[in-house]
């Protein structure tokens, strides 16, 4: 919003703008500007460098006011800035870079050289540069270096409904704190339950109860790989969005009960307690419903801890968690789906209207032999802190996943194996796509996270001595091994029953756009590294097509 406001104010005085977008398309950026008051302007004043769509493989129409670039390639952005600057032919232009986060996460400290040689050069020619970056995404030493290269630094946050600007350094303003009342707080965009096709859900539920969903078994590695690849992009907000959307989704359990056979509905009506405060009542709920649900999905082996639980404070233990196995001693609690699912189910199944929250108190990732969850009605003070992750922890987890992945691709080592539950789990919810249906920020993280991960995989396979075709063959084998879908590759790449988008088709009305956000990003990053090709998804089962298909370009 800060960048958009700067653009609008500059346009008011007819100052030419070069708007570099790395987290959305130029069309989306223009739409946001119009929502904030952009009116008719002189042609040539507002210009875009779209460094997003090319990076994640989204197909868009050409625009006369837009030059494309790839934020995984700093040279392409440099060339685009020079080209756009020559096209404008005027000095005193404002280059708005929203944001440096994506290029930094692709190129690391190389961004410092880009700032010195490209951005500083542009400013020295009589122009100005405004660049934003998410503070939590970078190493502290790199952030300090970026700040030292800047003539002014403003840190921004939101506290108690106010936008807070801390002026760290400025050529004309002393270090200060500025609080700006916000006239409009942009609400979190959660999914609209009206999109669900309840007839489809009923058929899906009946198939689930009769054990007919074996084709939806997915290796636990793949959704974990997608999640932590995306976490790198937004380690503070991404896990919070995940928690909120899964919790909200689980509250639909109240509606799901109406799909049960009448005998099961009667049992719920007779035996479901008015509230879940007491230990005995919560024990009944777990023994009759939740333990069975978790076991069916092979999410883990769950046990209600009657001895340590008390009124309005309950504990469960989870063995062989599909989210946490393989992340021993990484220095953080890992589980991101099961805790909010339990919180949402408690809220949905309790006859009283109370909000529930869950926090992971023990975890394999913290060095414990199992995971434990604490859940209570009301707020948990430590919850937000447990959700936010330090970038160093996220990178350590992602490096662990990449190491395991390369061991599989090069030496055929197993990805993950649980002692009794095995490597697969029943993906009975749209584990990757559901949160993405909640808003564009999550979709962006999936796309960019996939592109970065795919690029790294391609580069490492080539560095290991594989040729292009061998590298492609190994990745196709990976997708099939993980049960991502049935892959065929000729002039195009097709995936039938893609696990990322199939639930959008099963549970909702026809989706209006391809929903393979992570898969498309991953393929685009991989093929750009291995064959210098980009892909775009032209067909998707979420839109009613018989398979998902990507064209090369």
Q: Is residue 61 part of a domain?
A: yes
Distance between CA atoms of residues 110 and 100, nearest Å: 12
Average pLDDT value for the chain: 86
What does R_g of the chain's alpha carbons equal in angstroms? 25
Q: Hey, which residues does 303 pair with through a beta bridge? A: 317
- In three-state form (DSSP H/G/I as H, E/B as E, the rest C), the secondary structure along 447-494 is HHHHHHHHHHHHHHHHHCCCCHHHHHHHHHHHHHHCCCCEEEECCEEE
Whether residues 145 and 55 share a domain: the answer is yes
Helix (H) or strand (E) holding 517: helix 517-530
Beta-strand relationship, 46-50 and 66-68: parallel
Whether residues 291 and 379 share a domain: the answer is yes
Q: Is residue 130 part of a domain?
A: yes
- In three-state form (DSSP H/G/I as H, E/B as E, the rest C), the secondary structure along 152-179 is CEEEEEEECCEEEEEEEECCCCCCEEEE
Whether residues 264 and 384 share a domain: the answer is yes
Q: Is residue 163 part of a domain?
A: no
CATH of residue 462's domain is 3.30.1380.20
HSE-up of 476 (CA within 13 Å, CB side)? 16
Distance between CA atoms of residues 71 and 375, nearest Å: 42
Q: Is residue 30 part of a domain?
A: yes
Q: Is 484 exposed, middle or buried (0-12, 13-18, 19+ CB in 10 A)?
A: buried
Helix (H) or strand (E) holding 314: strand 314-319
Q: Is residue 380 part of a domain?
A: yes
Q: Is residue 220 part of a domain?
A: no
Task: Provide the CA 227 distance to its chain's centre, in angstroms.
Answer: 6
HSE-up of 131 (CA within 13 Å, CB side)? 26
Of 233, 1, 3, residue with least CA distance to 136: 233
Whether residues 124 and 253 share a domain: the answer is no
Whether residues 46 and 115 share a domain: the answer is yes
User: Which of 108, 132, 150 corresponds to the end of one domain?
Assistant: 150
Of 154, 151, 185, 182, residue with least CA distance to 168: 154
CATH of residue 93's domain is 3.40.50.300
Whether residues 242 and 378 share a domain: the answer is yes
Tens-level pLDDT at each residue, the chain (553 residues): 778 888 999 999 899 999 999 999 999 999 999 988 898 898 889 999 999 998 998 877 788 999 999 999 999 999 999 999 999 988 899 999 998 999 999 999 999 999 999 999 999 999 999 999 988 787 889 989 999 999 888 888 767 667 787 888 888 888 888 876 654 433 333 344 454 555 555 555 554 554 444 457 899 999 999 999 999 888 888 888 889 888 887 887 666 666 556 666 666 666 677 789 999 999 988 887 788 778 878 899 999 999 999 999 999 999 999 999 989 988 899 999 999 999 998 988 887 889 999 999 999 999 999 999 999 999 999 998 899 888 888 999 999 999 999 999 999 999 988 999 999 988 755 567 666 666 778 888 899 999 999 999 999 999 999 999 999 999 999 999 999 999 999 999 999 988 888 766 655 555 678 889 999 999 999 999 999 999 999 999 888 899 999 999 8
Whether residues 356 and 433 share a domain: the answer is no
Whether residues 411 and 455 share a domain: the answer is yes
Task: Please count the structural domains in the chain.
Answer: 3
**Residue range of the domain that includes 84:** 2-150
User: Which of 333, 366, 388 corresponds to the end of one domain?
Assistant: 388
Q: Strands of 535-539's sheet, edge to edge?
A: 486-489, 492-496, 548-552, 535-539
Q: Is residue 413 part of a domain?
A: yes
Q: Strands of 94-98's sheet, edge to edge?
A: 66-68, 46-50, 17-21, 94-98, 128-132
Whether residues 382 and 405 share a domain: the answer is no
161 to 165, 180, 183, 381: CA distances (angstroms): 13, 9, 9, 19
Check: CB of residue 69 under 8 Å from CB of residue 77: yes
SS3 category, 90: coil
pTM score = 0.86
Distance between CA atoms of residues 205 and 176, nearest Å: 57
Q: What confidence tens digit (pLDDT) does each residue in 157-201 have?
A: 767 667 787 888 888 888 888 876 654 433 333 344 454 555 555
Whether residues 107 and 10 share a domain: the answer is yes
User: Which of 117, 150, 183 corresponds to the end of one domain?
Assistant: 150
Whether residues 403 and 372 share a domain: the answer is no
CATH of residue 347's domain is 3.30.1380
Q: What confidence tens digit (pLDDT) does each residue in 330-386 have?
A: 889 999 999 999 999 898 888 788 999 999 999 999 999 999 999 999 999 999 889
Q: Who contacts 352 (Cβ-Cβ below 8 Å, separation ≥6)?
A: 274, 275
Check: CB of residue 218 under 8 Å from CB of residue 425: yes
Q: Is residue 533 part of a domain?
A: yes
Whether residues 372 and 414 share a domain: the answer is no
335 to 238, 321, 387, 460: CA distances (angstroms): 13, 8, 10, 28
């Amino acid at each position: 919003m800060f960048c958009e406001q700067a653009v609008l104010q500059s346009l008011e005085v007819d100052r030419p703008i070069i708007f570099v977008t790395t987290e959305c398309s130029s069309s989306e950026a223009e739409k946001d500007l119009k929502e904030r008051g952009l009116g008719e302007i002189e042609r040539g004043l507002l210009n875009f460098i779209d460094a997003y769509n090319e990076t994640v493989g989204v197909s868009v129409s050409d625009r006369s006011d837009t030059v494309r670039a790839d934020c995984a390639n700093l040279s392409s952005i440099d060339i685009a800035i020079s080209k756009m600057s020559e096209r404008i032919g005027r000095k005193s232009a404002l280059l708005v870079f929203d944001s440096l986060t994506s290029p930094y996460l692709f190129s690391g400290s190389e961004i410092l050289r880009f700032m010195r040689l490209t951005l500083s050069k542009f400013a020295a020619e009589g122009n100005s540069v405004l660049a934003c970056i998410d503070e939590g995404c970078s190493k502290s030493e790199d952030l300090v270096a970026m700040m030292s290269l800047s003539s002014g630094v403003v840190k921004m946050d939101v506290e108690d409904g106010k936008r807070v600007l801390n002026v760290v350094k400025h050529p004309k303003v002393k270090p200060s704190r500025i609080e700006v009342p916000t006239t409009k707080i942009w609400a979190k965009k959660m999914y609209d339950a009206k999109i669900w096709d309840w007839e489809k859900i009923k058929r899906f539920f009946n198939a689930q109860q009769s054990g007919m969903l074996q084709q939806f078994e997915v290796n636990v590695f793949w959704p974990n790989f997608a999640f932590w690849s995306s976490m790198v992009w937004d380690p503070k907000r991404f896990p919070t969005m995940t928690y909120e959307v899964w919790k909200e989704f689980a509250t639909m359990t109240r509606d799901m009960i109406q799909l049960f056979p009448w005998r099961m509905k009667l049992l719920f009506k007779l035996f479901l307690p008015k509230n879940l405060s007491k230990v005995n009542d919560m024990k009944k709920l777990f023994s009759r419903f939740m333990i069975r649900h978790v076991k069916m999905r092979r999410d883990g082996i769950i046990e209600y801890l009657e001895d340590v639980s008390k009124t309005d404070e309950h504990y469960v233990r989870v063995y062989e968690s599909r989210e946490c196995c393989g992340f021993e001693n990484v220095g953080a609690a890992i589980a991101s789906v099961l805790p909010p699912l339990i919180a949402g189910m408690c809220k949905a199944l309790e006859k009283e209207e109370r909000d529930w929250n869950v926090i992971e108190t023990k975890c394999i990732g913290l060095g414990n032999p199992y995971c434990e969850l604490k859940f209570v009605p009301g707020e948990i003070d430590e919850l937000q802190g447990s959700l936010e992750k330090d970038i160093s922890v996220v990178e350590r987890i992602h490096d662990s996943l990449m190491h395991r992945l390369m061991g599989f691709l090069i030496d055929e080592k197993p990805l993950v194996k649980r002692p009794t539950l095995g490597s697969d789990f029943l993906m009975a919810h749209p584990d990757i796509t559901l949160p993405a249906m909640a808003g564009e920020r999550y979709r962006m993280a999936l796309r960019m996270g996939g592109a970065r991960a795919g690029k790294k995989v391609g580069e490492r396979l080539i560095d290991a001595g594989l040729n292009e075709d061998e590298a492609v063959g190994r990745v196709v084998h990976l997708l099939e091994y993980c049960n991502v879908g049935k892959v065929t590759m000729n002039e195009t790449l097709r995936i039938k029953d893609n696990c990322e988008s199939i639930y959008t088709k099963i549970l909702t009305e026809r989706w209006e756009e391809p929903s393979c956000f992570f898969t498309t990003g991953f393929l685009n990053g991989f093929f750009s590294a291995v064959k210098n090709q980009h892909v775009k998804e032209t067909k998707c089962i979420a839109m009613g097509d018989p398979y998902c298909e990507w064209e090369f370009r």
